[in-house]
Structure 1
Amino acid sequence: MTAANNEHRIAGPRLIAIVGPFQSGKTSLLEGILARGGGLARQGAVRDGTTVGDSSQEARSHAMSVEPNVASIDYMGDRLTFFDCPGSIEFIHDMRPALPVCDAAIVVCEADPRKIPALQVILRELEELGLPRILFLNKIDQAGGSLRETLEMLQPASRTPLLLRQIPVWENGVATGFVDLALERAFLYRESAPSEVIEMPAGVMQEEKHARYSMLEKLADYDDALMEQLLSDLDPPKDLVFDDLARELREGQVVPVLIGSATEGHGVTRLLKAVRHEAPGIGHTRLRLGVDDSGPALAQVIRTVHTAHGGKLSLSRVLRGAFGDGVTVINSRGIEERIGGLARLTGSSSAKIGRAEEGDTVAFARLENLATGDRFAEGKTAPAPADLPPAPPPTQAFAIKVKDRKDEVRLAAALAKLCEEDPALSFVQDAEMSEMKLLGQGEMHLRVTQERLSDRFGVTIHTHKPTVAYRETIRDKVTVRGRHKKQSGGHGQFGDVVVEVGPRARGEGFAFDETVHGGSVPRQYFSSVEAGARDATARGPLGFPVVDIAVTLTDGSYHTVDSSDMAFRAAARIALDEAMAKARPVLLEPILSVTIYVPSDALARASALVSARRGQILGFEGREGWKGWEALRALIPEAEIGDLIIELRSATSGVGAFETKFDHLAELTGKTADHVVEQRRAANANG
């Protein structure tokens, strides 16, 4: 880096996201960054459970990231904060509140074709946000084949050209170092230490010249001055090259590719220097977000954490100005609160600070009315809300029940806190089925939630498949008489009705009419008859709510003394119970409209999953804006959806997804229907 280029380097705190497919090495990279940046005395290892990130009991037990990790270093005079995001598709939503306010992202990947779809999913989100990104090709010590072939394999995942910044130095098939194409220097990897500058090995000189020229050609696509120098066979000055690298990264014209091994700490120092010298700062991030440079101090919450002793913490990026401890702030909904403390987080530990500067990423304590994604400002004027995507729709649900009934109140409070921490998690109380449902992004997401309830809140729950909301209707039209007569001294009870009951078209619901002549049933009792008929539809002869029937009151009789609203309501219930049993009742099951998104090479496997679940394929088409992906449209019974996401992700290297909505009710017959009815009758008999 030349002196001239240093003058234009962006200074100040930076927030950098670390993202990438599952098990690509993100947690190891964060550990290497902390070790190289002076934040750790010694680099820990994921396999040993000694990393700063993934320190929670759930992460350690599953050997995977199940929540974001944040840590900061002061590197060469600049504070760099890293937001390490989970790579599993079930937890990838945790990165979305943070990405918009990050300055850049490090995308960790490896030379594994099976992970290309997952890489594409992640890069797609970064591209749509316009977030500058650097690709760190990890596990270079395990890579086979040429780097050029690897880049050709990775390029389809990115709509932006990948720009190779480094090439490896090989010795006996092992990557022992690398050449930085911008610096034109060779480096030798050293164990647990920064790489050492060495003389350019003779065996890579020719490859270095070719790779460097290719890099400059791509940069020149966006720089006429550089193109002119290349056409004139002039070697451009390094400060021009570095300025172009920084500008084209910032403007999203290229994605620089650096190489290394996170577990060995190889290539981490050069990555840090690239971030420090080339990643944009808070000014560019404000511009991308449409936030003015001037105005009261402003921050945005990127994660909410409930701690055992410190209460609620709102991890936030300071977009403008500075905040001091004890200052009163106002959120986007106009609610004022007082900051109850400031802290800098490193994994699961925290250190109190007195002030949060512009660009800082710190935890604000005891702001109870803030939620993830909220903005808050100093002063009396509520800031405009942030433009954030909605939480992803759930893909799986568990019905849950506390092991000990005395924990029911604690369960609701614990779930409220967990849902505040994780907007992709939700729970609902299903009054009809008398069960609470926990909804999330997949089996592991829900299992981890179950573990957190036990580990953090001491609440043990049992889970089972949610009950499907079956319905029933009738096939025939029948006419029946219902009579309610009771004499018990004094005024008795008398109601007598004749009703015609028949089916309606699917989705038309319940209808009531009357064709009474001659006053056989006084008009004042018509509404009671209708109410009694509706009462009867709460549970039909098969044991389920009844839908899509028409009830017509045609005749009846009354008693001048003993007839009443209650008596006619009871008579109507009696008539409907008998009518529905005679009218050939049939079970109805809910059918969902499902759109499944998969890579094109997994379309056949996805289609087989639909067919195996009694589904009807309606068609498929290319997923709009997604090269190499398909959108499969189908109708699938709700009863078959339960664990679809598990098999779908297994068939698509973890990236398959789907969206559902209710479509219609369809008749269910045969052994499947018999089994459902038997289960319901057993449940009703047990209480």
Structure 2
Amino acid sequence: MTNNVASENRNVAIVGPYLSGKTALLESLLFATGTITRKGTAKEGNRIGDSVAEARDRNMSVEINAAYTQYGGINFTFLDCPGSVEFAQETYNALMGAGLAIVVCEPEPLRILTLSPLFKFLDDWEIPHIVFINKMDRAFSDEEGCNLNFLELLNALKTVSSRPIVPQEYPIAKGSELIGFIDLVTEQAYNYHPGAASDPVPMPEELKDLEHAARQEMLEQLSNFDDHLLEELLEEIEPPTEEIVKDLKMELGADLIVPVFFGAAELEYGVRSLLDALVREAPEPSLTAERRGLKGTSDIPIAQVLKTFYTPQGGKLSLVRVWQGELTEGIVLNGIRAAGMYRLLGQQTQGVQVAKTGEIVALARMEGIKTGDTLTAQPDRLKAPLPKAQVLPPVLAFAIAPENRKDEVKLSAALTKMIEEDPSLTWEQNTDTHQVILWGQGEIHLKVTLDRLRRKYNLPIVTSPPQIPYKETIRSNTNSHGRYKHQSGGHGQFGDVYLDITPLPRGEGFNFSETIVGGAVPKQYIPGVEMGVREYLQQGPLGFPVVDVSVTLTNGSYHSVDSSEQAFKQAARLAMQTGMAKCNPTLLEPIVTVEVCAPNDFTSQLFQLITTRRGQILGYEPVADWKGWDQVSAYLPQAEMQDLIVELRSLTMGVGYFNWKFDHLQEVPEQLAQRVLATVADDSNGGGNSKSKN
């Protein structure tokens, strides 16, 4: 393929909720541009956006899919992004490099709310975007309903967008069938044909008034940013088509308006008119670069990693957007030489010699480079790294272990690569429960990760719910005596201690002191006493680590020959074992602060969600800079957090989210404590946690 100047490159992210039809739209775009000669289907699992096994298994996109094509003299790279909220990190990472986003949605006004987080991200980062209302062929029950439903959809879109909604098309229906559209710019009507271009037809007489009203609204919105157009409208002068197109491109490129198109992707209704609009109106790469602080005129090559792939055949691939300058084959970026450069069509790669500003290409074997990194051939001249999408906080966890214990070292290396591919994953070796905990954005997200571990790295995994890191403490004090005496030939072992054991206020931890007088316990043996106490506190009388306890060594005795630090350590353990059982031990559970956010239509349900999980409401307030959203703050036991995200998303049409962090320990209610202790006893007798294989 020939190399083109920067102004002829466009990259477009296709985003939207799960099941809105993004992958079908990509397939039709590629078919309409001649890049593919036969469209794949979801049933056959052979679409470009279904290129990985995990996507085909679930009939849903689970990662970014890039596809290069050409149309109308423009080089397009489309980024098909996952729709599930559990893979939102993929979408946000892709959008950071996109020059334009197509927001795909279904023609259901009540479900437009699910676009709210996406619109918020686009508006916050000033990413130009248009809306494509898909599946419009299923939207109408009668001709009147066609018009009313379309206006209802536009009104619903206005509730989730901080930018003006500007329709560029108006639907034509016959009964319950969508048969065409009117281009509001040219006022030309068209009839749809499945799998082919639309035909121009006379405008239906019955729609002239409605079309005129819609067009006037479009022009009035544009006139808010163009004084000359405003003058023409006030003087009732018909603006020329070229002026309207120029205004649409300018306002879209500045992220001042949100144009709206519609169609039916599977039938290719509206796909070619969408492509024509992209050719006319999609902003040039330099505009997005300027908003990121780049002038776009420097010769310094600058790129950013949007996605990291580990492929079975080619190893590591870094999908990058070229922000400035050009990349050449074998270029050295951040001190690392690219082993190859490719354009992508799903899993297919095509080598390329040069990638210019605005293109998205894959670089091979950029070891040590991560998603979001800024790459340049001259790091010393880079003023600051490009901004990257914030990593979403984890909300659900599995405890994991390889089926074969010999694979534990292998698991660590595989998880490191998985997190390179997907930064919204994280894992930890929990020091309290000694479990490996895999954190992610939801159950499907975690199960996809486990499937990849099995397929890519031959690591079948056993999962279980993470154990809660309970602690225990005491509610009363006591004095305890411990004597260790052991004779086994030669020198014996002798240690003798008296300890005061006292509860501390919550959060104080552990304190050890001594009040020995007269050398009852020689100073060289006192560290052994403290060591014995600390070792015992790792597992108290209830079976959990002990906190908020003060232990004072008050007295003791020793033998000039048989005493040793080890003997006093054993004596201290005996004293703790005897004394702690008398101190009224009690179970403590971790309490987290949680901030739950959702549209204010759901605020009362958030209260109920929290209180039914033993939560304590701390208050609520509007979410800053997000009209119509509330944030509810609460204390919540960590034991109640495991499936919180599942219920929250169910209550809020998938848009609710929360942030949380550990706050303090709190006594477990007596009845619940008994159940926890009974479970621990059952586990110690071989009952164990329920586990599943993945």
Match of 2:223 in 1: 220
SS in 2 for 1:53: helix
Amino acid at match of 1:199: P
- Normalising to structure 2: TM-score of the pair? 0.94
- Supply the distance in 2 between the matched residues of 1:382 and 1:509 (Cα, whole angstroms): 50
SS in 1 for 2:289: helix
Please list, as runs of the form range in 1=range in 2, the aligned pairs for 1:143-542 lying within 5 A after superposition: 143-144=139-140, 145=145, 146=148, 147-292=150-295, 293-330=297-334, 336-379=335-378, 381=380, 383=382, 384-542=384-542
- Supply the distance in 1 between the matched residues of 2:195 and 2:323 (Cα, whole angstroms): 36
Q: 2:30 aligns with which of 31, 34, 47?
A: 34
Q: Give the CA RMSD over aligned residues.
A: 1.7
Distance 1:114 1:459, change over 3 A: farther
Q: 1:22 aligns with which of 18, 21, 24?
A: 18
Matched, 1:85 2:89: no
CA contact (8 A) 2:6 2:285 kept: no
Matched, 1:11 2:15: no
Match of 2:691 in 1: none
- Supply the distance in 1 between the matched residues of 2:611 and 2:171 (Cα, whole angstroms): 48
- Supply the distance in 2 between the matched residues of 1:48 and 1:180 (Cα, whole angstroms): 35
Distance 1:379 1:659, change over 3 A: closer
Q: 1:43 aligns with which of 39, 42, 50?
A: 39
Structure 1 unaligned runs (5+)? 1-8, 331-335
Q: Count how many residue pairs are aligned between Structure 1 and Structure 2.
A: 674
- Supply the distance in 1 between the matched residues of 2:391 and 2:476 (Cα, whole angstroms): 45
Instruction: Select between 22-31 and 502-511 the one with higher mean Cα deviation.
Output: 22-31
**Cα displacement (A) at 1:163:** 0.5
CA contact (8 A) 1:58 1:451 kept: yes
The C-alpha deviation readout for 1:270-326, integer Å capped at 9, x for no partner, is 111111111111111210111242132121111111111111111111112222222
**Cα displacement (A) at 1:541:** 0.4
Match of 1:633 in 2: 633
- Supply the distance in 2 between the matched residues of 1:380 and 1:207 (Cα, whole angstroms): 57
Match of 1:3 in 2: none
CA contact (8 A) 1:403 1:460 kept: yes
Instruction: Select between 466-475 and 286-295 the one with higher mean Cα deviation.
Output: 286-295
SS in 2 for 1:582: coil
Instruction: Select between 161-170 and 114-123 the one with higher mean Cα deviation.
Output: 114-123
Amino acid at match of 1:585: P
- Supply the distance in 1 between the matched residues of 2:65 and 2:206 (Cα, whole angstroms): 41
Instruction: Select between 43-52 and 611-620 the one with higher mean Cα deviation.
Output: 43-52
**Cα displacement (A) at 1:380:** 6.3
CA contact (8 A) 2:512 2:530 kept: yes
Amino acid at match of 2:312: A
**Cα displacement (A) at 1:386:** 2.1
Overall identity of the aligned pairs, in %? 44
The C-alpha deviation readout for 1:541-597, integer Å capped at 9, x for no partner, is 001010000111111111222222111121111111111111111011111111111
- Supply the distance in 1 between the matched residues of 2:399 and 2:153 (Cα, whole angstroms): 45
Matched, 1:64 2:60: yes
- Normalising to structure 1: TM-score of the pair? 0.95
Amino acid at match of 1:101: G
Distance 1:137 1:10, change over 3 A: farther
Once superposed, which parts of structure 1, at least 4 consecutive aligned residues long, lie more than 3 Å away?
379-384, 681-687
The C-alpha deviation readout for 1:325-353, integer Å capped at 9, x for no partner, is 222222xxxxx111111111111211122
- Supply the distance in 2 between the matched residues of 1:664 and 1:403 (Cα, whole angstroms): 35
Instruction: Select between 163-172 and 554-563 the one with higher mean Cα deviation.
Output: 554-563
Instruction: Select between 549-558 and 607-616 the one with higher mean Cα deviation.
Output: 607-616
The C-alpha deviation readout for 1:129-170, integer Å capped at 9, x for no partner, is 101111111111112442212211221010111011110111
- Supply the distance in 2 between the matched residues of 1:41 and 1:12 (Cα, whole angstroms): 24
The C-alpha deviation readout for 1:51-97, integer Å capped at 9, x for no partner, is 21122221122111111111011111110111111111100110222
**Cα displacement (A) at 1:382:** 6.7
Amino acid at match of 1:230: L
**Cα displacement (A) at 1:199:** 1.9
**Cα displacement (A) at 1:517:** 2.5
SS in 1 for 2:266: coil
